Chain A
Amino acid sequence: MTEIDKAIIEIDQSEEDPVNAVIKMGQILNQYAYNQVMSASTKASQQDALVSALETYEYDLMALKILKPAREAGMLILELDPDDLNNITADVLYIDAQLSDTKHAQAVFEAHGKKDDLNHLLAMSLVHFKNMEFTQAKQVLEPMLHDPMVVELARELCEETLDDHLDAYFDCNDESPLGDFYDAWEEHGEFFEAHRGYFMWIAQYIMNENK
């Protein structure tokens, strides 16, 4: 059992309220993570335990809608675990979109964003849109503007068949090149639903550019 596992058990036993426990856990994990990043001689098992605990912590915080601390956890994971870069980057960028934090999003996108990851591009585009930077919101999609997968998503949105495709993907385990995007839609459901206006807007732009 690692030190982190012991700390988690201790918090579970001492803190009755789940929200307070999550926040307390975060404070301890942040300290561990900070030490880990600073220390060159870290055991692999300790690192794995820390990343795993941070992932749980980030997930719990997002469920509780405590987003800024969730984003901090995501940033620590990005430092500690380059293997899971794509998913965590998308998570952090979608949180930035929820917080309308262009400055933070821009920094994350420049450091970790991939030009061939639709979630990264859409999240960054959404951040720009929410800050009324409409030109940048379109420009950021440029690298994948003519990608068949993106055109397909735009078509689903414009023809209002996206919900059917989401149902088929989740209920019938359909394979889809848009799987990562559908997963993000599932994970950030309420947020995506609240921003259908953006998705319709960008879909129309994509369709126009692919006429």
Chain B
Amino acid sequence: MSRKRDEDDVIFDEVAELVDLMSRGNMAGLQDFMQRYQENHQDLTHVQMMGLADLPVEERIIKQQEMLRKMFEKMDGNEADPSMVSDLLASLEIHYDDLKTARMNRRARDVLMVMLEYEHESFVDDLIPKILELDAWIEDDDNASKIYKKYGRHDLETDLLMGLVFYKTGALDKAESLLKKFMTYPEFVEVAPYLSDIDEFYEAYDDYNSEDFMDDEYDYDDDDYDEDDYDEEDDDFDLADHDDFMSFDDEDDEYTFYDLWDQYTDLFTENEAFFEWVGRHL
């Protein structure tokens, strides 16, 4: 789960607590809440940014830029205060999301590069494929190569994105040198035979998705069945009392190439020719 979402959850919890205190007229509790709130949130720019969601994209982006500029000014000369850095990263993530949605790919990539400077080591891995994805859109093999060399974690996702950047810049020899690595990933070996004809791949993809859906739909666990959950009067199950009855447990599923395709669907469908080329060269 991303840091932004973690913080969003905290905010939702706080709002729920506030509503509860107000509805009960608990003044002492309210006072305590306000004190805690001020201590916890000195400057939540990313929350203010979330409040801009209804503005047209260009206005939103300009305002976000202004807010970020102020944040950087505040940080200048200050020792990196962890809460400030955390707020900055959450704000940059919102800005990146909006830029990417508006297809302002180079700017979105630049934001990720800034995040890379401030991000805690444990989160860096999440940024690398996002940077490579944008480098593929803008065909920036220089930046992608540097990032891949320094941070590449050498999994299918990273290698595939790097291969795509090379392909798109016409550096086929470099892309070919990565092909051997693709075949070391079992999730890739599974789809490799279909790639040389993209229509065949899509058939396999559709089959996988329909099978996956059926598996999830009928993932019925007898052990979870409890007669108390069955309401004879309306002849229906009370699902509210029985979260586990119909299980869509994605954690049980292995990560597949099709999941990767879903994750980068715009980029991958735009570059079907690359996958066909890969398929022909395996």
A-to-B contact residues, CB < 8 Å: 17, 19-20, 23, 26, 61, 63-69, 98-101, 129-132, 134, 190, 194-195, 197-198, 201
Beyond known contacts A17-B280, A67-B139: 7 more, CB 8 A cutoff = A63-B273, A66-B167, A68-B170, A69-B169, A130-B103, A195-B103, A197-B103
Total A-B pairs, Cβ < 8 A: 72
Bound complex: CA A186 to CA B107 (Å):
27
Q: Which of B57, B103, B106, B168 makes the CB contact (< 8 A) with A67?
A: B168
- Report how far A98 CA is from B105 CA in the complex, Å: 9
Query: A20 vs B138: C-alpha distance in the bound complex, in angstroms?
Result: 21
Q: A17-B277, A67-B139, A68-B139 are in contact. Are A23 and B172 (CB under 8 A)?
A: yes
Top 7 closest pairs, chain A to chain B, by CB: A100-B106, A69-B170, A64-B273, A19-B277, A68-B139, A134-B58, A99-B138
**Per-position binary interface string of chain B over residues 147-189, scored 1 when its CB falls under 8 Å from any chain A CB and 0 otherwise:** 0000000000000000000011110100000000000000000
9 contacts between A and B (CB under 8 A): A17-B281, A19-B273, A65-B274, A66-B167, A99-B138, A131-B106, A134-B62, A197-B57, A197-B102
* Residues of chain A with a CB closer than 8 A to B105's CB: 100, 130
Tally B residues with Cβ within 8 Å of A: 29
User: In the complex, which residues of chain A have a beta carbon less than 8 angstroms from the beta carbon of B172?
Assistant: 19-20, 23
How close is A63's CB to chain B, nearest CB, in angstroms? 7
Asked if B51 lies at the interface with its beta carbon under 8 angstroms from chain A, I say no
Main secondary structure of the interface of B (DSSP, over half): helix
Q: Are B106 and A201 in contact (CB under 8 A)?
A: no
Contact of A201 among B56, B62, B99, B137 (CB under 8 A): B56
B271 contacts the other chain (CB 8 A): yes
- Nearest A residue to B134, CB-CB: A100
| Residue among A63, A68, A131 having the largest count of chain B Cβ atoms under 10 Å | A68
Complex contacts, A129 vs chain B, CB 8 Å: 58, 104
- B210: CB under 8 A from chain A? no
Smallest CB separation, B198 vs chain A (Å): 13
CA distance A130 to B100 in the complex (A): 10
Chain B nearest CB, measured from A96 CB (Å): 10
Contacts of A26 in B (CB 8 A): 170
Which A residues are in CB contact (< 8 Å) with B167?
66
Closest to A61 in B: B170
Q: Which residue of B lies closest to A71 (CB)?
A: B139
Contact call B62/A66, Cβ cutoff below 8 A: no
